[in-house]
Amino acid sequence: MADTDMELWPQEDNIRLWHAIIQGPGETPFEGGTFELRIEVGTDYPIRPPVIRFVTHIFHPNIHFETGEICLDILKKEWSPAWSLQTACRAVVALLAAPDAESPLNCDAGNMLRGGDVRAYNAMARLYTVEYGSATRRG
């Protein structure tokens, strides 16, 4: 993959299971972090979207802390068969830079942002990035 901020590869023994390492976007609490994603591609891909989850723990309103589930419209009803796995991963990176507090999977993060406590949200997100955001390619 040509992206310097992303690696994407299939699992050796299962072409329907992919992994990605993404870099946290600059000027966000995720900057400098590396995060692993697990991507499951169904038999109906690309008609249906892949299932993408964070393996790396991350503090973000649209990402469930325990399961890594991502709330992102293009991974649900707005999916287009024209989009690739790389495009989907780029959308996840964009979500890190632009959280949507109105549809939280992590209520604590969502409440901080909805309540206007951006400083507390940024501090928590940064703490989790420093603590957990050091994924490396496992192939």
Q: Is 71 a catalytic residue?
A: yes
Question: Phi and psi of 90, rounded to 5°?
Answer: -65, -35
Three-state secondary-structure class, residue 25: coil
Place of tokens 């991507």: 39
Query: Measuring CA to CA, which residue among 137, 7, 4, 111 is closest to residue 59?
Result: 111
* Identity of the amino acid at 128: Y
Annotated catalytic residue within 31, 51, 55, 71 = 71
Active site residues: 71
